[in-house]
Amino acid sequence: MVAVAATAAMALAACSDDAEKTGLLRSAGVEQTATMIASNEKRAAYIAAVQRNAGPDYHFEAVGTWAAARVPAQRLTARLADGALSVEPAAPAAAWSLELRWTGIGRGDDIRPVERPVGGVDVASNRAAYRRTDCIEEWYLAGPRGIDKGFTLTERPAGSSFEIVIELAVHGSLTPSLVADGATVWLRNEHGAVVARYTDLFAHDARGKPLS
């Protein structure tokens, strides 16, 4: 059995948007040196500790088949419904919207649609999760650093390539753009200002060994 958890944190950086755009994020392996992997491992451990120890202000509240949370430090509100994450700024004057929906998983160019969630959202304090019919868990952790989004795989995805790819559909009023480091996505409003970012990707196997 191989378990992989890939985590990304999203944080508010600016405000204002009203354009409607869609896009696609593809999270895949990034070539790294041993020093980079060690540095990323330490950063991931730090982020995980900060997020896990978030207080009740960051707890998800389950309402029927959906759940919602506030992220005071980033001035964000988050909602999980119908298998997708929706994020908006808490301040009414900073009008923008973002929806991330997990749509595909595979290896290399062999990307296949993901299964629909089973039931509603599982909530435990500041953690919320969807479970899929293929036993993959898609989880979220609200905390001071934003919303962590992670995946736990119980087996290798289909395909022959070494590279595992997780595909996300982006909807709302922000436009995604990949940063030169290949591991960070900036989300810009219609004026080109970065209002959110998708970053700090980290993956490990079932034994806790970092994956490059």
CA separation for the pair 159, 168 (Å, rounded): 18
| Stretch 81-101: mean pLDDT | 89
How do 21-27 and 185-188 pair as beta strands? Answer: unpaired
Give per-residue pLDDT as tens, 110-146: 999 988 888 889 999 999 999 987 778 899 999 998 9
CA separation for the pair 60, 74 (Å, rounded): 15
- Asked if 182 and 30 touch (Cβ cutoff 8 Å), the reply is yes
- Output the pTM of the full model: 0.80
Looking at 62-76, 78-92, 145-159, which range is the least confident one? 145-159
